[in-house]
Amino acid sequence: MPELPEVETIVQALKPCLTGLTPVKVLCHKAKILRTPDLLLSALGFPIKDITRKGKLILLWTSPYVWLIHLKMTGQLWWQPKIFPLPPHTHLIVSFLHSDYQLRYADLRQFGYWQIVPETKLAQVPFLQKLGPDALTVTPEILKKQLHKKKAAIKKVLLNQQCLAGLGNIYSDEALWLARIHPLTPANILTPLQIDKLAWAIRKTLRRGLKLGGTSIQNYIQPNGQKGLYQRYRFVYRREGLPCLRCGMSIRRINISSRSSYFCPVCQRL
């Protein structure tokens, strides 16, 4: 699933392309992709004022409406000329007034969705209500508050979007390695020093992912079709059996809540 760096990279790439354009037509070939078809006609005809991110969610602002896009597991946003062939598994196409380009949504597994919400009701969207603080700007104070009384493994807690918004399997493994914290460590026993290091590691890892344009191991691509580069420079994720870049010990993999977690048994002692 695209995580914060991937989603933010998409947002920054699309912002100069979409800002000021007016959506005038939407073709949706899979009904479940568009959760609010009843609002579609009403929402057309308003220029896009901004495109932002909330956790892993993309928001297109066309006051008086907001278009919410969640890529989930395999969602992709393509910004392409109308004359280009559609990418495989394209399920939704947005056309714009006086533009030769289209915003195309492809999704192999079809778990992602689009939702149109009146701007006045945005705060009532359950998904947004439950999101925790943004991981990109987490501080030790915020992290300490979020981890307080949570006895679950720190890796499991970090994957919970109600704890921190935007973290996923890749960057949580990377941040825990940077902070030298074992992924099975109960969250509520982390020391103040460990919390300080983890907050720093989360911010550093996410900023590094942003700088490299995200991680393209499976389905993630940028709107122009380019791949991210983080996978070339990852510390532990999917490096099972390879030497730790810090101490040389072989990286190990364990399952936590049905998710693979990668760590160094020497640098990240339990």
Q: Are residues 105 and 188 in the same domain?
A: no
| Under-70 pLDDT residues of the chain | none
Q: Are residues 105 and 181 in the same domain?
A: no
Q: What pLDDT sits at residue 218? A: 86
Residue 270 resides in a domain: no
Q: Are residues 184 and 255 in the same domain?
A: yes
Distance, CA of 9 to CA of 212 (rounded, Å): 9
Catalytic pick among 3, 6, 8, 174: 3
Q: How far apart are the first and last CA of the chain?
A: 28
- Decide: residue 183, CB within 10 A, 0-12 exposed, 13-18 middle, 19+ buried: buried
Q: What pLDDT sits at residue 163? A: 96
Q: Are residues 124 and 139 in the same domain?
A: no
> At which of 100, 130, 160 does a domain end?
130
Catalytic pick among 53, 56, 197, 239: 56
Report the C-alpha dihedral over residues 123, 124, 129, 134, rounded to 10 degrees: -30
2 is catalytic: yes
Distance, CA of 197 to CA of 140 (rounded, Å): 8
Q: Are residues 240 and 254 in the same domain?
A: yes
- Decide: residue 19, CB within 10 A, 0-12 exposed, 13-18 middle, 19+ buried: middle
Q: Are residues 8 and 92 in the same domain?
A: yes
Q: What pLDDT sits at residue 32? A: 96
What tokens does 221 get?
């691509």
Q: Are residues 187 and 207 in the same domain?
A: yes
119 is catalytic: no
Q: What pLDDT sits at residue 1? A: 80
Q: Are residues 35 and 113 in the same domain?
A: yes
Residue 269 resides in a domain: no
Distance, CA of 69 to CA of 76 (rounded, Å): 10
Q: What pLDDT sits at residue 46? A: 98
Residue 139 resides in a domain: yes
259 is catalytic: yes
How many domains does the chain contain in total?
A: 2
Residue 91 resides in a domain: yes
Query: In one letter, which amino acid is 2?
Result: P
Q: Are residues 123 and 23 in the same domain?
A: yes
Q: What pLDDT sits at residue 257? A: 87
> At which of 130, 147, 164 does a domain end?
130
Helices (H) and strands (E) in the chain, counts: 7, 10
Q: Are residues 66 and 154 in the same domain?
A: no
Residue 32 resides in a domain: yes
**CA-based nearest residue to 83, from 106, 107, 101:** 101
201: CATH: 1.10.8.50
**CA-based nearest residue to 4, from 206, 228, 213:** 206
pLDDT digits (tens, 9 = 90+) for 182-228: 999 999 999 999 999 999 999 999 999 999 999 999 899 999 999 99
Residue 13 resides in a domain: yes
pLDDT digits (tens, 9 = 90+) for 100-122: 999 999 999 999 999 999 999 99
**What residue numbers bound the domain in which 83 lies?**
4-130
Q: Are residues 69 and 120 in the same domain?
A: yes
Task: Look up the pTM and report it.
Answer: 0.96
Q: Are residues 176 and 246 in the same domain?
A: yes
CB 59 within 8 A of CB 8: no
Catalytic pick among 118, 252, 259, 265: 259
204 is catalytic: no
